[in-house]
Amino acid sequence: MGFDVGVITKHAPALLDGALVTIQITILAFILGYAIGILMAVAALLPGRLPKIVVAAYVGTFRSVPFIITLFVIYYGLPFADIRLPAFMVGVVALAVFSGAYYTEIIRAAVQAVPRGQFDSARAVGMTYPQAMRHVIGPQVVRSVIPASTNTTLSMMKESAVLSSITIGELTYQGLIVQGETFAPFEVFAAVAVLYWTIAIAIAAAARWVEIRAGRAETKAVLRSRVAARYLSLDWRVRR
């Protein structure tokens, strides 16, 4: 019994469909999750204790509960609140809320890592708070936030495989279906693995492009080692 490439070619449309859904979910969850991350990070930096407590509770909760449980609680809990959403939407929201907890920590830490003196010198030339954020603090945060965000996004993309358990037709789900029809699990999951790998490479490349565009004045050697580090970060569950 050899490796039957025919199984893969015959069912390629179904698997590619699944890959497309995984890409859509990842992009939507990234956008929504990052929006949550920015809002939560800003809240955590506000004066006063209440916002900090809210953010700490949010981050603490979603970092402590396995994603599949978070997903089930949301998926089976929403109907109790009389909210009925398509499984796809529930999946996107759950992933966004989950990864948003990590994005929050990344952004908050990056803003706090900008020396206080940077804000002083921005104010000293007469910039208002929003101007200082836009011209001085923001750009420095963006650059330091990219590597860690890439890690979290890759983890999140892989975690989306769990959405197969609520019947979303993403890559893993399609793989399971095709496998059930063909009884050729090795060929099917090898193909699924290659598709995940391709998506991950694309995300890493996009992140690299953004990072270079963000204009880091560094030598090529440093850049190359960073790229290497990013590929290493494809490791399962490297989050921080």
Helix (H, G, I), strand (E, B) or coil at 211: helix
d(CA 111, CA 104): 11
**140 vs 182, which CB is nearer to another protein?**
140
Based on CB atoms, which residue is closest to another protein, 112 or 167? 112
Cα end-to-end distance, the chain, whole Å: 43
Contacts of 61 (CB under 8 A, 6+ apart): 101
122 is written with which tokens? 């921005």
Residue 56 beta carbon to another protein: minimum distance, rounded to whole angstroms: 27
At closest approach, how far in Å is the CB of 88 from another protein?
Answer: 39
H helix runs in 84-235, sequence order: 87-113, 116-124, 129-132, 138-159, 171-182, 185-213, 220-232
The residue (of 216 and 240) whose beta carbon lies closer to another protein is 216
Q: Torsions phi, psi of 197, nearest 5? A: -60, -45
Closest distance of CB 122 from another protein, Å: 8
Q: How far is the CB of 31 from another protein (least distance, A)?
A: 25
Quote the least distance from Cβ 217 to another protein, whole Å. Answer: 5
Min CB(218)–another protein separation in Å: 10
CA distance 229 to 240: 13
Query: Are 94 and 62 within 8 A, CB to CB?
Result: no
Which residues form the interface with another protein (CB under 8 A)?
Answer: 115, 117-118, 120-129, 131, 135-136, 139-140, 143, 215, 217
Burial 124-155 (b: 16+ CB within 10 A, else e): eeebeeeebbeebbeebbbebbbbbbbbbbbb
Which is closer to another protein, CB of 2 or CB of 126?
Answer: 126
Considering the complex, state which of residue 101 and residue 132 has its C-beta at the smaller distance from another protein: 132
In the bound state with another protein, the residue whose beta carbon lies nearer, of 77 and 139, is 139
